[in-house]
């Protein structure tokens, strides 16, 4: 007889399940999506077993449905996540994240002489290469490669 599989995180009635989050990025995802400010029920799974990824993170949020540009905020750190939109215990829609053309207030400019590091203001980057992930600061025009990207 097949061994009964234990459900790792409780099922969701209505809301969004974000699956396949790289485990080491889980808490950054939480903070970028501002989940700590939500008033609804949230289940966060950390270091769960995953066939695909080894260890993964999962976030289940009741009664919350993200706009696409909200969810694209995490595309830099967790490009492979799956979003399952759940209504009445059924997955009614699956979403992927994609890099937006512009990112505001997420990435830190790594030029210390950039105005954004010296004024109380939002950063703003154009994504100039989506394939290799290269950003260009809207203000000082410095280009930042994927491996040098630092979040605010």
Partner 1 sequence: MNKKSLVSIADYSKEDILRLIGIAEKFEKNPNRRLLEGKVCATLFFEPSTRTRLSFETAVNRLGGRIIGFSDASTTSSSKGETLKDTIMMVSNYADLIIMRHYLEGAACYASEVTNVPIINAGDGANQHPSQTMLDIYSIFKTQGRLENLEITMVGDLKYGRTVHSLITGMSHFNPVFHFVAPEELKIPDLYKNFCDKKGIKYYEYTDFSDEVINRSDIIYMTRVQRERFTDLMEYEKVKNVYILRNNMLSGSKDNLRILHPLPRVNEIAYDVDCNPKAYYIEQARNGVFARQAIICDVLGIEVK
Q: Which is nearer to partner 1, 50 or 111 (CB)?
A: 111
Residues that bind partner 1 (CB under 8 A): 111, 113-116, 118-121, 137-143
Give the position of tokens 């950390």. 46
At closest approach, how far in Å is the CB of 123 from partner 1? 10
Q: Which is nearer to partner 1, 91 or 115 (CB)?
A: 115
Give me the residues paired with residue 108 across strands.
150
At closest approach, how far in Å is the CB of 26 from partner 1? 33
DSSP 32: H
Q: Which is nearer to partner 1, 4 or 112 (CB)?
A: 112
Q: Which is nearer to partner 1, 16 or 116 (CB)?
A: 116
- Taking the C-alpha atoms of residue 12 and residue 90, their distance in angstroms, rounded to an integer, is 9
- Taking the C-alpha atoms of residue 11 and residue 8, their distance in angstroms, rounded to an integer, is 9
At closest approach, how far in Å is the CB of 69 from partner 1? 21
CA distances from 66 to 15, 35, 40, 63 (A): 9, 11, 14, 10
Tokens of 149: 């990207």
At closest approach, how far in Å is the CB of 117 from partner 1? 8
């Amino acid at each position: 007889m097949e061994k009964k599989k234990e459900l790792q995180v409780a099922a969701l009635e209505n809301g969004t399940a974000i699956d396949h989050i790289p485990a080491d990025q889980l808490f950054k995802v939480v903070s970028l999506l501002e989940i700590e400010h939500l008033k609804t029920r949230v289940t966060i799974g950390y270091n769960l077993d995953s066939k695909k990824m080894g260890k993964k993170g999962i976030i289940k949020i009741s009664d919350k449905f993200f706009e696409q540009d909200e969810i694209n905020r995490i595309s830099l750190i967790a490009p492979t996540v799956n979003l399952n939109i759940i209504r009445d215990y059924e997955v009614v829609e699956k979403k992927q994240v994609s890099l937006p053309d512009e990112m505001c207030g997420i990435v830190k400019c790594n030029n210390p002489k950039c105005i954004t590091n010296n004024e109380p203001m939002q950063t703003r980057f154009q994504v100039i290469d989506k394939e290799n992930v290269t950003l260009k600061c809207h203000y000082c025009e410095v280009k930042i490669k994927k491996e040098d990207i630092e979040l605010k």
